[in-house]
Structure 1
Amino acid sequence: MKEVVSDVVVIGAGPAGAVVSALLVQRGWSVNVVERQEFPRFSIGESLLPQCMEFLEAANMLDAVKAAGFQFKNGAAFEWDGARTAFDFTEKFSPGHGTTFQVQRGRFDKILADEAQKQGAQIHYRHTILEADISADGARLLAECGGEQVVFRGRFVLDASGFGRVLPRLLELDRPSQFPMRESVFTHVQDNISDAHFDRDKILITVHPQQRDIWYWLIPFSGGRASLGVVGERDKIVAMGDEPEQILRNAVAAAPELAKVLRDAEFDTPVQRISGYSSDVSTLTGPGFALLGNAGEFLDPVFSSGVTIAMKSAELAAGCLHRQLSGEPVDWQADFAAPLKHGVDVFKTYVTAWYDGRFQDVIFYQTEQQEIKRMICSILAGYAWDKNNPFVAVAERRLNALVEICSAD
């Protein structure tokens, strides 16, 4: 049986896997990446946040992304029953990048994986992991490719398998998410948008006119295409139709302003649906392993936080692992899990408040206080780890105070 040995084994070649691999090989460590699929492949999570640019820059991947011709993005627009508002990420409170891109993930993820390979990471596509034997002394992963079995050995394993959730499944780390069972129905369209008021430089998030816990994304791409999706609790989505395309068309028709924007759109790609995607785990790290991005916890697509959390986890894990492989003691709970969880919990606060209506009230509040808007803008731009921002440092308390102000008028 073939054996492949390296310092680190990374499961998954998506954004978290590619970035952490690049950061580790830059520090001189050997990395093998085990990827179940062949790239490019379809994935959602297409509207990046500016915070991602910092991680891409550190991984020496930003120039390649900029050269790819992706749709420029400078903010987020919101619409609900005729009420509109927008956030310009260049006007945020936190320092750092204020613009980013909206990307077809198949091509974007392939670019990152290729850049990681160019820097020295070895990526093994079409390998499915069957078994995992991991301890503080090292790891043995049994994989299968084309009917042949391969053993990957390493001193440490980083699981960046996303929704595949390889180690949570094999090591029985999964636990139920606190979020209700929601479903997403989505596709890519030739949008043919002619509305002069539509801003292709921003993601458009539309709230259902009557049911505020149902919302839509419209993510413009370069070349006149766009990603379109609707999200809601499963029973409400199912009530919209029998087939995915019927559900999505009926959902758009129920939101007049969105239907107007998309009146000439061509549905030329099969419509897909996923449900029960929110996830959690009992631990993010253990002897010999750590979970990155969606392999650990996935919240909800509403604020496009998934790729940002994935890359932040990659940055933190690379720093911890470099020190550990160099012989230094590392407290993974204090140095990786706790700081990562702080930002995740900030996003969780605002996701929860979005669905119960509190954060929507804030977003559509007509009398804006510019300094507060800049702080909220920073969170929407992905800067959920900037504790200089009061709405990050004490997220729940600050948000509730802001909700009271908005409700008093």
Structure 2
Amino acid sequence: MHKVIIIGAGPSGSIAGALLNNLGYQVTILERQQFPRFSIGESLLPQCMEFIKQAGMMDAVVNAGFQFKNGASFVYQDQRTEFNFEEKFSEGMGTTFQVQRGRFDEILANEAARMGVDIRWQMEVTAVDFSGDKPRLDVRDVEGNISHLEADFVLDASGFGRILPRLLNLESPSGFPVRKALFGHIEDRIDDTGFDRNKILITVHPEHKDVWFWLIPFSNGRSSIGVVAETDFYPSSDSNETVLQRLLNQDDNLHKILKNAVFDDKINDITGYSANVKSLYGKGYALLGNAGEFLDPVFSSGVTIAMKSASLAAAILDRQFKGESVDWQTEYATPLQRGVNTFRVFVDAWYDGRFQDVIFHAKQQPEIKAMISSILAGYAWDEANPYVSNARSRLDTLVELCRAG
């Protein structure tokens, strides 16, 4: 029986582990932490549900009591627009959930373990060797003991830990400016009757259009709140809590919504999160999700890309183990990158203000809005959508039309 080692038990690791286990392979997941643990990326996209269903985990997620999500709201000063993901161009599910990632990731990992995946907690990969017939990994447990493991193939699902990119010198500049996010969970106490808990709220700073806030409501009366800006936008002397609350108060709409909120938890920060690699695969390994590339949190694409990579990699690896000829570039890296590049076009346009001109335009065409909604819902690989197959030129043309009135 072929053996696969997966580094990391987050969404891409658990989905890949379940898919390969269900195909009959021996799967071991090595996770450095103990779940549950805090993570961002809490507003899922409907495309995620397709991969959760494929892995056989749908019932566990649906029955977990997470906050229902059917779209996204965008606000800039007195302008507001909403996208209902059920009114999209692409086939597939149009609803999903907003989740506390600690619990969500634990549910996926527990489901993978229930199916038969061997998950080993608090195991850190310290060295790798892909020069022999089989990949070898040095793994350190919580007591400092080192063990040596072999596999037929290794999938790196380590997320921001980026284990193989670091150990194999695969890291590459992302091309995005260095940005910093401040974020945490609050008891939101929202009593604004106009606020829709079924949608993520993305708010553009009233004076700085490249600075934005997220507000992700959960089902338990709490919310995830965060702000993203380039590093030099933030003062250097104040605490994260002070800076975040001061910035929130600069927007009248957010100040009104969160007037009763209790900031009762730590406000975290992450800087320079965007990342890229020289290659998504090599002899005996492939990189999944954030271990390969992370763009930006603005459209919540991270978990979707992670699960898409897990689905692609599992299918290719199955064929490879069966003795078929596979090409990881044309069957994995290129197709995965196609969707990532679609997201990249819209992320670029968000920060330079062009996409904001589109979504806040007064006369939106329903057909075009449905196509944009599909991408915001995660269907960035649907080549039937003109804003996927020809993303940059289509968006450029749409921007010109919107700006011309």
Match 1:295 to one of 279, 291, 296 = 291
Distance 2:326 2:277 in 1: 21
Q: Does 1:208 align with 2:205?
A: yes
Match 1:366 to one of 362, 365, 373 = 362
SS at match of 1:216: strand
Match of 2:49, as an amino acid? M
CA contact (8 A) 1:40 1:110 kept: yes
Unaligned 5+ segments in structure 2 are: none
What corresponds to 1:271 in structure 2?
267
For residues 93-149 of structure 1, what are the alpha-carbon distances to aligned partners after superposition, in whole Å with 9 as ceiling and x for unaligned?
Answer: 001000000000000000000000111110011001110001472210001001211
Match 1:260 to one of 223, 232, 256 = 256
CA contact (8 A) 1:136 1:287 kept: no
For residues 210-242 of structure 1, what are the alpha-carbon distances to aligned partners after superposition, in whole Å with 9 as ceiling and x for unaligned?
Answer: 100000000000011000000000110236x61
Match of 1:149, as an amino acid? I
Cα deviation, residue 6, structure 1: 6.1
CA contact (8 A) 1:36 1:127 kept: yes
Distance 1:250 1:219 in 2: 19
Match of 2:179, as an amino acid? R
For residues 274-321 of structure 1, what are the alpha-carbon distances to aligned partners after superposition, in whole Å with 9 as ceiling and x for unaligned?
Answer: 100000000001111000000000000000000000000000000000
For residues 229-262 of structure 1, what are the alpha-carbon distances to aligned partners after superposition, in whole Å with 9 as ceiling and x for unaligned?
Answer: 00000110236x6110011001101111111100
CA contact (8 A) 2:2 2:321 kept: no
Q: Does 1:227 align with 2:224?
A: yes
Distance 1:109 1:336 in 2: 24
Q: Does 1:396 align with 2:392?
A: yes
Match of 1:196, as an amino acid? T
Distance 1:135 1:359 in 2: 46
Q: Does 1:183 align with 2:186?
A: no
Distance 2:234 2:220 in 1: 30
Cα deviation, residue 343, structure 1: 0.1
Cα deviation, residue 150, structure 1: 1.6
SS at match of 1:57: helix
* TM alignment of 1:12-51, pairs within 5 A: 12-51=8-47
* TM alignment of 1:10-409, pairs within 5 A: 10-135=6-131, 137-145=133-141, 146-238=143-235, 242-409=238-405
Distance 2:238 2:249 in 1: 16
Match of 2:161, as an amino acid? G
Q: What TM-score do the two structures reach when normalised by structure 1? A: 0.98
CA contact (8 A) 1:186 1:227 kept: yes
Distance 1:343 1:71 in 2: 26
Distance 1:134 1:74 in 2: 44
Match of 1:282, as an amino acid? K
Distance 2:401 2:58 in 1: 40
For residues 29-88 of structure 1, what are the alpha-carbon distances to aligned partners after superposition, in whole Å with 9 as ceiling and x for unaligned?
Answer: 000101100001000000000000000000001110001000000000000001000000
SS at match of 1:157: strand
CA contact (8 A) 1:361 1:406 kept: yes
SS at match of 2:135: strand
Match of 2:187, as an amino acid? Q
SS at match of 2:312: helix
CA contact (8 A) 1:136 1:288 kept: no
Aligned length in residues:
404
Distance 1:362 1:134 in 2: 48
